[in-house]
Amino acid sequence: MMRRMKKEIEDEMLDDDRIGSEFNDEEYDRSARGVLLKKGPWTSAEDDILVNYVKKNGEGNWNAVQKQTGLLRCGKSCRLRWANHLRPNLKKGTFTAEEEQLICELHAKLGNKWARMAAHLPGRTDNEIKNYWNTRIKRRHRAGLPLYPPEVLQQTLHGQSTDGINSGNKVHPDFLQKKNFDIHDAIYDCMKDNQGMLPYVAELPDISAYSNMLNGFDSSQYSSFGQSTSSNHKHFRDSTIPFLDFSCIDRNGYYPFDHIQDDTFYKWTQSFGMQSPLHHAGPSSHSSMCYSHSLKNGNSSTSKPFEELPSIQYPETDLGSWGTSPPPPLLESVDDFIKSPTPISTLESDCSSPQNSGLLQSVLYPRKTPSSSKNQFYGKSSNSSTATPGERADSSALNMYDTEWEESADPVSPFGTSSILNECPAVSANRSSLDEQPPVHTVNGNTVKLEYVDPVWTPDSGNQITSLLNFSRPDFLLGSDWYEQCSGNDQNQSIFYDATSMFLEDQSATDYKHMTAGTSNPSQVREFGSCAWNNMPPVCQVSDLG
DNA sequence: AAAGAGTGCAACCGCCTGGGC
DNA sequence: TGCCCAGGCGGTTGCACTCTT
């Protein structure tokens, strides 16, 4: 390549006068032993030194390279250079169609396990695959295409593979773009951890629900979550995730977002560089959102009480204080999720993918909203629990999002039109998406309530384990008491799946039917839901069922 | 032709793990 | 048991190159 040619020419020029010349501080680092080590691009002379060393001594003991050859490179750098560029049998050039297909499959199964993927691609390095994948993400995103081709989806979800790679019919959450929503990582890790203990976990089928939820929501680099480095990856895991109090949803499925309280959501959004619009509400806009998730029977005893912070605590002037964070598409999408109380029957999805994403899809994918909704928030307030179908009054707080985010749609706003997700076609193909429908309606006279639970979880809280569910899981209901109650008869089961399908798309619900088909014992399913997933900090809780 | 944006890739960085002591 | 070190891995960055306006 031209760049390489140019580089090599420069290398030769540099090599001659490098030794003995002054060390540029920017190009050299002093090692722990006080040795100056070079950084930056490798020269051909350095390559030669390294190749000769490996020929003579074999791979490994990379730190010895510097000692034995005088090569001013750290061991890590040597290993990387060798592995990625110098070792024999390296295949260079663009990936073939077969390789691309294989990478898709591997990624669907393994996630961002580049080294493991590279093991299946002779001559390719993990770095190469990683770069390819990131590039692919960009391209697919730009093109508005789903990250995974349909055939890969099919193959992966059904445990098929063109290369014989079969991960036991399991799909790594990375398949669901885990880095975009790191909780899946924790979920999967949790499940993995429990596979030995819980035989039915080992039989866990495809997490297609997740895939459907997140399909098309790609690139860690192009979402607010995805911006996360490994550090904020952890941060997310450690974060308390506020969820919506669906007990506030009326029987028509409308969410009165006039119940927002405490600063949890604020903090949460802040943790992603977001500005919680909830705290921009003026004094008149009572907010008392419950970050809880429970099946409510009128007794929300398990709900953690919140202290409402004065709205003035987060003045509207903060609206512009997005800092330097990139646009937070999630929140933007949450906006759509939240602000869309329109009855689903009236909505036509503008999503094109056959893989509807359900809850998270709707959360993660924004849907264009008429600007007419602007400023609705300040004109509307609470008491939306009495909202009737067709009303948007129940979206008072939602419209607050609407308003503020639309107001933010200026060049400096993270929610401006430059948001990359604005360009991304939503992928919801059916109407179960939560941006079109509040996620829970009443079931057996109960409504589902998201309930905040203390993120500090200890084994001592075992009594609560069975009620601790991760709402982010599409199948969280399986772990609830409610499932046990619902599973008693076909009608209840149907209701159960109906409710579940509100969080999932149809296929996902079907998957979960299949999953639970072999686990007919409600207590087992319940245990599955409650134990296998609760090694992670609980995010929500399901309270008693009426 | 020039400037800015976009793209792709090599290399670096930080974290984790396992082995040796 | 704890510390140190080497190696491995995944995420991120920097920069040369290409494309677009």
Q: Do A278 and A397 contact (CB within 8 A), yes or no?
A: yes
Q: CATH number of the domain that A48 lies in?
A: 1.10.10.60
| Residue A371 to residue A428: CA distance in whole angstroms | 21
- Residues A15, A130: one domain? no
- Residues A149, A168: one domain? yes
- Residues A82, A120: one domain? no
* A266 burial via Cβ count (<10 Å: 0-12, 13-18, 19+): buried
- At A34, the pLDDT band (50, 70, 90 cuts) reads low
Do the domain assignments include residue A337? no
pLDDT at residue A159 in the model: 55
Q: Which residue(s) pair with A448 in the sheet? A: A295
Do the domain assignments include residue A116? yes
**Which nucleotide's C1' sits nearest to the alpha carbon of A81?**
B11
Identify the domain boundary among A37, A59, A86.
A86
Report which of residues 389-408 in chain A place their beta carbon less than 7 angstroms from any atom of strand C: none
Q: pLDDT digit string (tens) for A268-277?
A: 333 333 333 3
Q: Do A224 and A250 contact (CB within 8 A), yes or no?
A: no
Q: How many distinct structural domains can be found in chain A? A: 2
Instruction: Round and report the angstrom distance from CA (A62) to C1' (C7).
Output: 9
* A391 burial via Cβ count (<10 Å: 0-12, 13-18, 19+): middle
Q: pLDDT digit string (tens) for A420-444?
A: 233 333 333 333 322 333 333 333 4
The protein residues having a beta carbon less than 7 Å from any atom of strand B are: A 29, 38-42, 76-77, 80-81, 84-85, 94, 127-128, 130-132, 134-135, 138-139, 142, 230-231, 234
Do the domain assignments include residue A191? yes
Q: Which nucleotides of B are covered by protein (CB under 7 A)?
A: 7-16
Identify the domain boundary among A36, A61, A86.
A86
pLDDT at residue A17 in the model: 40
The answer on pLDDT for A96 being more than 50 is: yes
Tokens of A133: 């994948």
Choose among A218, A220, A240, A215: nearest CA to A230: A220
- Residues A40, A116: one domain? no
- Residues A164, A142: one domain? yes
Tokens of A495: 């209701």
Q: Read out DSSP for A302-336?
A: TSPP-PPPPGGGS-GGGGG--TTPPP-HHHHHHHH
Tokens of A417: 């039109």
If phi > 0 it is left, if psi is from -120 to 50 it is alpha, else beta; for residue A18 that is alpha
pLDDT at residue A31 in the model: 61
Do the domain assignments include residue A326? no
- Residues A157, A123: one domain? yes
- Residues A102, A211: one domain? yes
Q: Do A31 and A76 contact (CB within 8 A), yes or no?
A: no
- Residues A11, A82: one domain? yes
pLDDT at residue A139 in the model: 79
A66: Cβ under 7 Å from strand C? Answer: no
Q: Which nucleotides of C are covered by protein (CB under 7 A)?
A: 5-12, 16-18
- Residues A82, A126: one domain? no
Do the domain assignments include residue A122? yes
Report which of residues 422-451 in chain A place their beta carbon less than 7 angstroms from any atom of strand C: none
- Residues A72, A143: one domain? no
A325: Cβ under 7 Å from strand C? Answer: no
Give the structural domain span for A50: 2-86
Identify the domain boundary among A86, A117, A143.
A86
Choose among A440, A518, A433: nearest CA to A477: A440
- Which of A138-152, A362-376, A451-465, A481-495 is predicted most confidently? A138-152
Query: pLDDT over 90 for what percent of chain A?
Result: 0
- Residues A12, A78: one domain? yes
Do the domain assignments include residue A385? no
- Residues A104, A216: one domain? yes
Q: pLDDT digit string (tens) for A388-416?
A: 333 333 333 333 333 333 333 333 333 33
Q: pLDDT digit string (tens) for A8-27?
A: 444 444 444 433 344 454 56
Choose among A208, A294, A201, A295: nearest CA to A524: A201
Query: pLDDT over 70 for what percent of chain A?
Result: 21
CB environment A55-80: b (16+ within 10 A), e (fewer):
eeeeeeebeebbeebebbbbbebbbb
| Residue A539 to residue A471: CA distance in whole angstroms | 7
Do the domain assignments include residue A301? no
3-state secondary structure at position A370: coil
